Amino acid sequence: MSQIRGKNTRPEILLRKSLWKLGLRYRLSSKLPGKPDLVFRRFRAVLFVDGCFWHGCPTHLSWPKRNAQFWKRKILGNKNRDLAVSRELKRDGWTVIRVWEHQIRLDVAQCALRIRRKLLR
Ligand SMILES: [Zn+2]
């Protein structure tokens, strides 16, 4: 799991800085299912930053031509696991927030504001 969910990637660090500026506090390490990137205990919410390639972003995923079968299985497997993890967390009463890596690259401040809205809801 840790291989596919790169910890401390650049987009993730940018997002953390923006959230911090908004006064949102979080924990990084988590033993929760799927190892969420950030945990907001106060709001009983978790956040995942999904890499466009590994998690099969509909906008940016271009299937590799070499070893196509392997990658297809791998990425679809990741997507299925993401769904299962989200379901499990929600069942346990967590709010699950997922952010695509490209959304952060596009406008990190906007991302952080959207996350705050979800937390305060
Ligand atoms: Zn994307």
Q: What is the pLDDT of residues 20-65, one digit of tens each?
A: 999 999 999 778 999 999 999 999 999 999 999 999 999 988 888 9
CA atoms within 13 A on the CB side of 38: 25
Asked which of 2-16, 40-54, 66-80 is least confident by mean pLDDT, the reply is 2-16
* Residue-level pLDDT at 4: 53
35 CA from centroid of ligand 1 (Å): 21
Residue 90 CB coordination number (10 Å): 12
pLDDT at 7: 67
Q: Is the pLDDT of residue 2 over 60?
A: no
- How many angstroms does the Cα of residue 102 sit away from the middle of ligand 1? 5
pLDDT band at 93 (very low <50, low <70, confident <90, very high): very high
103 C-alpha to center of ligand 1: Å?
7
* Distance from the alpha carbon of residue 89 to the mean position of ligand 1, in angstroms: 23
Res. 6 pLDDT band, cuts 50 70 90: low
Q: Is the distance from CB of 5 to CB of 85 less than 8 angstroms?
A: no
Residues comprising the chain, all counted? 121
Tell me the pairing of strands 38-40 and 95-100: unpaired
Residue 77 pLDDT exceeds 50: yes
Rounded Cα distance, 78 and 85, in Å = 10
